[in-house]
Amino acid sequence: MTGPWLGKPGEQYWGVSTGGIQREDRVLRRIRIAGLVLLGIQLLAMVAWSTVLWSHFVLRMDYAQYHGAWWLIGHGDLNPTNIGPTGGYGFWQNDFELMMWPLGLLALVAPHGPVLGILQDVAVAVAEAVVFLWMWELVENHAAGRIRIVAVSVGLALLLANPWTWQSVSFDFHMEPVGLAFIVLAARLLTKGKRIGWLFVLLAAMCGDATAAWLVGLGIGMVISAPRSWRRGFGVAAAGAGYLVLSAALHGDMGGNPAHLYGYLAGAGVVAPTLGDVVKHLLAHPRVAISTLWAHRVDIYANVAPAGLVGLANPLALGLWLVTLPIVDLASGSNFAQPLYQEIALYVLIPLGSVCVLIAILRRFPPIGLAFGVILVANAVTWSAVWAPIIYRRWLDVPAPTAAVLRSLQVRIPPTAEVAASHGVVGRFSDRRFDYQISAAGEPVPIGSHDTYWIVVPQVGAETEPSSAALAVIAELADHWHAQLILHRGGVWAFHWEVPRSIHSVETPAEPGSLPGWTSPGPAGRPDLTGQPARWTTEGTGSAGDVISGDRFNVPPGTYRAGVTLSASVPVEVEVWNDSLAAPLALRRIGPTHGCRTIRMTVTADRIPRKGSFEGWGPFVVAVPGGIAGDALEIRVRSPGSGEVRVGELSLRRVTTGSATGNRGVAA
């Protein structure tokens, strides 16, 4: 079931004596034991990594969505509501992931801790172990002597050295890695003619629409690899397709609404596109799909390269790839195209096909096969060496001091209270009935409990809103909603707000044109929070450096008037800095102000940074989506130290439309 070119079981190649075969068999058995041990060590390392991410509060909205539903199901709420501003529907409508209900039983015995992350790690380890043993059986049946040792060793290396497996388990929790274990078990058992494999087909489908689509691809691959057993492959594909149809009919696909993801492919002028509109337009204009796939060519290659690439010759991997390619790479934007959990099945099954190709080459051209095996391993190891530090920096983006502050907050918040937290850290606060992410300006936040805690982390973690918008939430809480500031330390602002009974929903502030200075203290500044919030300011610590920094306004091209209200007993510098270009736009040096004074400067921002960038090195790169669009303009106030500096307000307002010819600053 892995390719017609392996030959008949028991054929001998690369001739060796009977005694040599026996020796190689002993070595092969030792490799099997060593491989399982190494996969077990990898599992322990993944569990340790998931625990580190959990302890550092590096758990975002995706984790909160799943963990919140899991926790509620385990506590008796069998119809939990999807969490967050995109919610308003039952969790069962989140891609029809019915597997969450059986998993919710775990919350009865382990309601806290990194349980879901560890479960995800175990599922991936099970899938890898099954594929490794599958490789071992292939080389045992279709090769002899040193061919066995080389082929199975290369396959093990491809499984262990793929960085995208780590990337997948680092990104919160998702059902695809869980479904991967069932997909692999179903494939292995059904190709051996075991009827129990159909149970794993059902379990895989219950992991949601994505894994149901994988079943379609798996069925296609089974038909290609064994045409005489086409009914079995057709049944697997029909099971996946049937689950997708049922999900759509019951509106269980609202989490990844196909019309939202692919509606742009229906052409301009279609107001409410359906999948039928998309298919019709693509059939009439196939160049649209081709150009979209070509735009993602770097990520398409990156997804399959570490696993061996040639493993796509395996019909099982090829069928999966033919299904995931349009689903992932034709979705709007670039978020899904980069190597992540959406294609984790390829990271595990392509190495199986790579081993099949390697066996075929080794049997006919041993020296070429050896060189090819070395290239496969070297390629995977290089991908891992290039990307291991990037993955570490990308996902461990909440420093230990900030995590310690968040940990102290977590134990202070009553379990019945509602928590609204920044997108990058909200996951750890989802073990309650009501929690919501703060992810954008002007978004609604439902009030489920009138005892609310707001945790805003403007400049730490993977945040989806400009820091100025997060700072505006802080100002709104203190000055207009009259919430109580209970903590400000380590980049964390925490408020307790007893919401009036008449309020059932609030809206975060729109993109601000001005901010109180106390929201943006720099390394040489500290907020002075005495008296009423309207009188709060940031004052200099007496050290040289930025008294104000970090107030990033993301703005479109145009001309802007920046303003700073301050008092200073020493000369200071007021600067407008373009973070997107890492360049100053305007700088003004002023002497002692002899009282409160407003400094204004006119600046021009005329360049929106390219959405997306490349990470990696040489040919080992990935095209990653860009951050928040627009020029990130930051107002800074720099003190030489030793004197008194106090900043009251910061502002950045557009004064003209259109763009200019350069980034220039004019002091006014």
Question: How high is the mean pLDDT of the chain?
Answer: 87
At 659, the pLDDT band (50, 70, 90 cuts) reads very low
Q: For residues 155 and 7, which has the higher predicted lDDT (pLDDT)?
A: 155
Would you say 124 and 177 are in contact if contact means Cβ atoms under 8 Å apart? yes
- 464-483 burial, b at 16+ Cβ within 10 Å, e below that, comes to bbbbbbbbbbbbbbbeebeb
At 112, the pLDDT band (50, 70, 90 cuts) reads confident
Long-range contacts of 534-538 (CB under 8 A, 24+ apart): 534/479, 536/478, 537/646, 537/647, 537/648, 538/646, 538/647
Predicted confidence at residue 238, as pLDDT, reads 96
Q: Which of 18-27, 28-37, 562-571 has the lowest mean pLDDT?
A: 18-27
Would you say 359 and 139 are in contact if contact means Cβ atoms under 8 Å apart? yes
No. of helices (H) and no. of strands (E), the chain: 20, 21
Predicted confidence at residue 663, as pLDDT, reads 41
DSSP 494-517: EEEEE--TT--EEEPPPSPSEEEG
Partners of 418 in the beta sheet? 452
Distances (CA, A) of 518 to 191, 598, 645, 650: 65, 16, 12, 10
Residues 530-552: tens digit of each pLDDT: 999 989 999 999 999 999 998 98
Integer Cα distance of 578 and 581 in angstroms? 6
Q: Which two tokens stand for residue 634?
A: 């930051």
What is the mean pLDDT of the segment spanning 648-663? 69
Q: How many residues can be counted in the chain? A: 668
Predicted confidence at residue 632, as pLDDT, reads 84
Predicted confidence at residue 84, as pLDDT, reads 52
Integer Cα distance of 276 and 467 in angstroms? 41
- Listed in sequence order, the residues at least 6 apart from 20 whose beta carbon sits closer than 8 Å to its beta carbon are 145
At 53, the pLDDT band (50, 70, 90 cuts) reads very high
Would you say 533 and 648 are in contact if contact means Cβ atoms under 8 Å apart? no
Grouping H, G, I as helix, E, B as strand and the rest as coil, residue 561 is strand
- CA-based nearest residue to 651, from 480, 468, 479: 468
Count of CB atoms within 10 A of residue 358's CB?
27
At 612, the pLDDT band (50, 70, 90 cuts) reads low
Would you say 496 and 486 are in contact if contact means Cβ atoms under 8 Å apart? yes
- CA-based nearest residue to 104, from 70, 141, 145, 67: 70
Integer Cα distance of 512 and 482 in angstroms? 19
Q: For residues 202 and 594, which has the higher predicted lDDT (pLDDT)?
A: 202
Positive/negative CA dihedral, 270, 273, 276, 281: positive
pLDDT score of 469 more than 50:
yes
Return the amino acid letter for 105: L
Predicted confidence at residue 147, as pLDDT, reads 84
Predicted confidence at residue 295, as pLDDT, reads 87
- 271-305 burial, b at 16+ Cβ within 10 Å, e below that, comes to eebeeebbeebbeeeeebbeebeeebebbbebbbb
Grouping H, G, I as helix, E, B as strand and the rest as coil, residue 447 is coil
Integer Cα distance of 243 and 123 in angstroms? 22
Partners of 445 in the beta sheet? 506
pLDDT score of 16 more than 70:
no
Residues 206-248: tens digit of each pLDDT: 999 999 999 999 999 999 988 888 899 999 999 999 999 999 8
Q: What is the side-by-side strand order in the sheet with 484-489?
A: 435-438, 418-422, 451-456, 492-498, 484-489
Distances (CA, A) of 565 to 443, 512, 538: 29, 16, 11
Integer Cα distance of 395 and 493 in angstroms? 22
- Listed in sequence order, the residues at least 6 apart from 213 whose beta carbon sits closer than 8 Å to its beta carbon are 240, 244, 323, 324, 327
Integer Cα distance of 17 and 76 in angstroms? 65
Q: Give the end-to-end CA distance of the chain in Å, rounded to a whole number.
A: 75
* CA 172, chain centre distance (Å): 7
pLDDT score of 10 more than 60:
no
pLDDT score of 2 more than 60:
no
In terms of C-beta density within 10 A (0-12 exposed, 13-18 middle, 19 or more buried), how is residue 503 classed?
exposed
Predicted confidence at residue 23, as pLDDT, reads 66
Q: Which of 11-25, 72-86, 112-126, 174-188 has the lowest mean pLDDT?
A: 11-25
What is the mean pLDDT of the segment spanning 239-264? 84
- Listed in sequence order, the residues at least 6 apart from 489 whose beta carbon sits closer than 8 Å to its beta carbon are 405
Predicted confidence at residue 15, as pLDDT, reads 38
Give residue limits of the domains in the chain. 19-58+114-395, 400-510, 518-667
Integer Cα distance of 274 and 164 in angstroms? 33
Phi, psi of 631 (to 5 degrees): -80, 125
Q: Which two tokens stand for residue 338?
A: 């980069």
Predicted confidence at residue 14, as pLDDT, reads 41
Answer whether CATH 1.10.730 is correct for domain 518-667: no
Predicted confidence at residue 22, as pLDDT, reads 61
Return the amino acid letter for 440: A
- CA-based nearest residue to 3, from 429, 277, 308, 311: 311
Phi, psi of 561 (to 5 degrees): -105, 115
Predicted confidence at residue 56, as pLDDT, reads 94
Residues 344-394: tens digit of each pLDDT: 999 999 999 999 999 999 988 999 999 999 999 999 999 999 999 999 999
Positive/negative CA dihedral, 77, 82, 83, 88: negative
